[in-house]
Amino acid sequence: MANVAEFTLHNILINTSSLIDILFIKAFKSMGLDRRTLELVGNSLLGFSGKKIDALGKKAIPVSFEEGKRVRIKTITFDVVNMDYPYSTIFGRGFTNQFEVVVK
């Protein structure tokens, strides 16, 4: 569970082999974010069952985690994709580097 743009997301996948952080369109819409605020993306994404996926755009979004009274907030740039997936977001290396996450 994570707080992304002041919206609590569940069903998060942490994939340390992914170079990018992905936000799926269903979660993006649930947050009330506007597609017109997305930045253009120059490259396609690979890896979804070997398929090439074109992202709708990129968006830098604040992500926070709370542990007791401690809160950490970092801005993560997500590629927003228009596809059904069992997760709301995939945190890749951008996330793990920003939050200095160690996955065991």
pLDDT of 104 reads 74
Give the Cα separation of 101 and 18 in Å (integer).
Answer: 14
pLDDT of 47 reads 73
Identify the residue whose tokens are 């992202």. 55
The mean-pLDDT minimum among 17-21, 36-40, 100-104 falls in 100-104
Q: What is the DSSP letter of 5?
A: T
Coil, strand or helix at 55? coil
The pLDDT tens digits for 56-94 are 999 999 999 887 888 899 999 999 999 888 999 999 998
Give the contacts of 2 (CB within 8 A, at least 6 positions apart): 8, 9, 12, 63, 64, 65, 89, 91
φ and ψ at residue 30, rounded to 5 degrees: -60, -30
Structural domains in the chain, sorted by start: 2-98 (2.40.70.10)
E strands, the chain, are 2-4, 7-9, 12-14, 21-24, 45-48, 51-53, 57-67, 70-81, 89-91
For the entire predicted model, the pTM comes to 0.88
